[in-house]
């Protein structure tokens, strides 16, 4: 499969970080769900961890340019994201699977992914090949002609991932992508993540610490809208001790980091 | 874009809407009030427009239904992260729904066309204008439906909007009375009911309607595409401009816009050979059916010295258009039946002979109906029969007159019949002329 590569695509990146947030503040309703977050993400797979209400989804939404930051600075792919910015260029490089994945139920999987490719303003000639590749990569080849409304929960999640990756995004945002996947599918998904992280910045939000350890190159832990910890999975495992809650070194590390952060905040 | 339009055509409400309009339209065309469009193409185009009374609200509801999809399927979050602006994103949806209603309306037109294609001849350009306005009305309706459905994404929006649209169409004539021309600007169905054979819609009327409907369509698309209040307010501009322009373009005399007549449709088309039989151009497909019956009558009329030698269609049109008066011409009304062929061809000879006893327009002493019928029956040798208009008392008196003529010697009866015709032509019919009791 050959396609024309545009000058845009081969141009060297001039930004050090794909995602760069400084003192970022984002509202969820009236509440400041992200409150002074500093974060820099480059190429690789970043696992976003944090308890419920930590601001994971709000952060994802801000990075997806769906919600405007209330303060601080956010730079995506070298371009500032603020009220006046023209987001079209940045958005062409984004892939996003929202927590609540909305879709047109009467469309087939292929039609919906193609529709999303069109919304992402992909060059016309590249669309059919890219659509097929995205569907193949998530293992939905046999279901490509099925209506979206006939898919099971796990298949829907994979269709959601297919639409997110169809444009080979430089920044891929997946909000709880493993919900509804069976164990075998999760293994395939980890494989896919490692593959995607080779040349793009993937941010995966999840509650499954084990997924992060196995599939991610980097762990990001946030709580109450602030960055608690950023490091490698190996380093995460060294953070916890025998007294911390959890069934694995990574889970104990997660618990220990949160406990320490809460203790500091309480002081 | 074309691939996405194809997807939208298949997966949106477009296909269902097209089918609903085509089926409802065709059923209305053939079964609502019987087949009223068999005369010709203009009658078909106008009858289609009349049934917009149902199709227009349907299109409104279809648009509103389709617009709910986005809200219902919760895609705002995902689509909000994509670069393509909303104004682009709606184009395939707007296009698919537009194509759908156009297709539905044209399918209905084709169903009607198949019915009359073998009998209808005269095809004036105004037919295209009338149809185009009908198409534009549906496109505007489905787009208004999209806009309203987006602003009010509720399950009841579609049915409520449909009912509101129907109510609007029904209220416009009453609200604008006595300015019929004003109703014609805003209602695509006004004045389309039971078109006469020579009916037409003047070009300026169609132009004014098209201006208003196009403005409505533009405003609807702006509303559907808009992200903010400013564009929504801006959508008022085409509405106001369109209404103002349409009102300016529309002729302001009811006389000109309602009961408009197409002189070309009314002009006569005649047989090449003698004796000449002529029908209006709109009925030219029926000439071959009328001619033998008319000539049959002309043969009978040779018994009248100086009797008519030609038969023309009576092209009198409401309210005050009459054919030129000629003594050597017998007039006969020609009407197409539901099948497009002549309604009651067997009645033509009697009517032509009856027409031979007509008086010039403005006559104060014409022959009475019973006298004319009796004289005509004596000539044809057939008993007077009632037509749907005649009242029984008149028929009785016609039958009595006819019988008294028959009891007379042939020569005497002939003399009286000839005298009746002369008196009718000179506008001096005295009572009792046929019975010989002339005062």
Question: In chain B, which residues have their Cβ closer than 8 Å to the Cβ of A107?
Answer: 7, 11
What single DSSP character describes residue B322?
-
How high is the pLDDT of residue A11? Answer: 61
Stretch 118-157 of chain A: residues touching chain B, C-beta under 8 Å: 118-121, 127
The candidate with the shortest Cα–Cα distance to B91, out of B7, B1, B16, B6, is: B1
How high is the pLDDT of residue B47? Answer: 95
Average pLDDT, chain A: 91
How high is the pLDDT of residue B34? Answer: 84
Q: Tokens 């993540």: give the residue.
A: A193
pTM value is 0.90
Query: What distance in Å separates residue A65's CA from the closest CA in chain B?
Result: 6
Query: What distance in Å separates residue A238's CA from the closest CA in chain B?
Result: 37
pLDDT digits (tens, 9 = 90+) for A245-257: 888 999 999 999 9
Whether residue B80 and residue A87 make contact (CB cut-off 8 A), yes or no, is no
Half-sphere exposure of residue B406, counting CA atoms within 13 Å on the CB side?
Answer: 16
pLDDT digits (tens, 9 = 90+) for A110-167: 999 999 999 999 999 999 999 999 999 999 999 999 999 999 988 999 999 999 999 9
**Token reading at A266:** 């309480």
Signed CA dihedral, A155, A160, A161, A165: sign only: positive
How high is the pLDDT of residue B198? Answer: 92
Query: What distance in Å separates residue B83's CA from the closest CA in chain A?
Result: 4
Sheet holding B268-270, edge to edge: B268-270, B277-280, B310-313, B329-332
| Residues A175-197, mean pLDDT to the nearest whole number | 89
User: Does A98 have pLDDT greater than 80?
Assistant: yes
**If residue A231 lies in a helix (H) or strand (E), which one and from where to where?**
strand A226-231
How high is the pLDDT of residue B192? Answer: 87
Three-state SS for A186?
Answer: helix
How high is the pLDDT of residue A10? Answer: 63
Question: In chain B, which residues have their Cβ closer than 8 Å to the Cβ of A115?
Answer: 4, 7
Segments of chain B with pLDDT less than 50: 439
Closest-CA residue of B relative to A109 is B7
Beta-ladder partners of B311: B277, B330
Nearest beta carbon to residue A100 from set B7, B69, B74: B74
The candidate with the shortest Cα–Cα distance to B82, out of A264, A106, A115, A37, is: A115
Q: Tokens 């097209």: give the residue.
A: B18
User: Does A7 have pLDDT greater than 80?
Assistant: no
pLDDT digits (tens, 9 = 90+) for A24-82: 999 998 999 999 999 999 999 999 999 998 999 999 999 999 999 999 999 999 889 87
Nearest beta carbon to residue A104 from set B69, B77, B84: B69
How high is the pLDDT of residue B439? Answer: 45
Question: In chain B, which residues have their Cβ closer than 8 Å to the Cβ of A113?
Answer: none
Nearest beta carbon to residue A88 from set B1, B79, B83: B83
Residue B261 to residue B304: CA distance in whole angstroms: 35
Query: What distance in Å separates residue A121's CA from the closest CA in chain B?
Result: 6
Note the Cα A154 to chain centre separation in Å. Answer: 17
pLDDT digits (tens, 9 = 90+) for B393-425: 888 888 888 888 888 888 888 888 998 999 899
The candidate with the shortest Cα–Cα distance to B435, out of B409, B407, B416, is: B416
């Amino acid at each position: 499969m050959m396609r024309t590569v545009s000058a845009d695509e081969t141009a060297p990146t001039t930004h050090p970080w794909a995602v760069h947030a400084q003192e970022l503040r984002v509202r969820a309703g009236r509440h400041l769900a992200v409150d002074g977050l500093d974060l820099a993400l480059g190429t690789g797979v970043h696992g976003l961890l944090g308890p419920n209400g930590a601001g994971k989804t709000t952060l994802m939404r801000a990075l997806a340019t769906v919600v405007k930051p209330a303060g601080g600075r956010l730079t995506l792919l070298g371009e500032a994201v603020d009220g006046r910015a023209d987001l079209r260029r940045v958005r062409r490089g984004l892939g996003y699977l929202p927590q609540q994945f909305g879709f047109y139920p009467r469309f087939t999987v292929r039609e919906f992914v193609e529709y999303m490719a069109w919304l992402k303003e992909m060059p016309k000639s590249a669309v059919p090949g890219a659509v097929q590749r995205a569907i193949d990569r998530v293992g939905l080849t046999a279901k490509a002609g099925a209506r979206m409304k006939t898919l099971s929960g796990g298949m829907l999640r994979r269709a959601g991932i297919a639409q997110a990756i169809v444009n080979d995004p430089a920044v891929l945002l997946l909000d709880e992508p493993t919900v509804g996947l069976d164990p075998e599918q999760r293994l395939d998904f980890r494989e896919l993540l490692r593959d995607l992280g080779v040349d793009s910045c993937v941010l995966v939000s999840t509650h499954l610490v084990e997924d992060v350890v196995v599939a991610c190159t980097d762990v990001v832990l946030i709580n109450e809208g602030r960055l608690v910890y950023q490091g490698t999975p190996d380093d995460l495992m060294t953070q916890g001790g025998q007294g911390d809650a959890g069934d694995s070194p990574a889970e104990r590390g997660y618990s220990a980091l949160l406990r320490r952060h809460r203790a500091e905040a309480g002081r | 874009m074309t691939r996405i339009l194809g997807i939208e055509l298949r997966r949106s409400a477009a296909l269902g809407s097209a089918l609903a309009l085509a089926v409802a339209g065709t059923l209305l065309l053939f079964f609502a009030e019987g087949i009223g469009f068999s005369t010709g193409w203009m009658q078909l185009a106008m009858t289609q427009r009349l049934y917009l009374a149902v199709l227009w609200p349907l299109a409104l509801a279809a648009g509103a239904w389709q617009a709910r999809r986005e809200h219902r399927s919760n895609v705002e979050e995902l689509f909000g992260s994509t670069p393509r602006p909303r104004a682009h994103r709606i184009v395939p949806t707007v296009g698919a729904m537009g194509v759908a209603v156009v297709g539905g309306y044209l399918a209905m037109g084709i169903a009607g066309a198949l019915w009359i294609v073998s009998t209808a001849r005269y095809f004036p350009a105004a037919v295209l204008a009338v149809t185009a306005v009908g198409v534009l009305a549906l496109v505007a309706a489905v787009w208004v439906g999209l806009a309203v459905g987006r602003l009010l994404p509720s399950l009841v929006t579609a049915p409520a909007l449909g009912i509101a649209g129907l109510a609007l169409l029904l209220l416009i004539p009453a609200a604008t009375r006595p300015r019929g021309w004003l109703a014609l600007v805003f209602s695509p169905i006004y004045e389309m009911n039971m078109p006469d054979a020579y009916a037409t819609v003047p070009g300026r009327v169609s132009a004014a309607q098209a201006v208003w409907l196009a403005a409505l369509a533009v405003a609807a698309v702006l509303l559907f595409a808009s992200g903010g209040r400013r564009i929504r307010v801006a959508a008022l501009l085409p509405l106001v401009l369109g209404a103002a322009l349409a009102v300016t373009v529309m002729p302001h005399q009811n006389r000109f816009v309602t009961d408009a007549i197409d002189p070309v449709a009314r002009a006569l088309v005649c047989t090449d050979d003698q004796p000449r039989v002529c029908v209006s151009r709109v009925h030219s497909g029926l000439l071959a059916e009328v001619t033998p019956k008319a000539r049959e009558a002309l043969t009978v009329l040779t018994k009248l010295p100086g009797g008519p030698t030609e038969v023309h269609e009576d092209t009198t049109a409401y309210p005050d258009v009459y054919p030129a008066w000629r003594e050597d011409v017998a007039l006969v009304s020609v009407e197409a039946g539901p099948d497009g062929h002549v309604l009651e061809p067997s009645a033509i000879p009697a009517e032509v002979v009856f027409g031979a006893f007509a008086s010039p327009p403005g006559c104060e002493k014409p022959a009475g109906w019973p006298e004319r019928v009796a004289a005509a029956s004596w000539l044809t040798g057939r008993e007077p029969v009632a037509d749907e208009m005649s009242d029984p008392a008149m028929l009785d008196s016609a039958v009595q007159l006819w019988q008294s003529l028959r009891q007379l010697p042939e020569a005497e009866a002939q003399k009286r019949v000839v005298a009746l015709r002369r008196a009718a032509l000179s506008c001096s019919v005295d009572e009792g002329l046929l019975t010989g009791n002339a005062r």
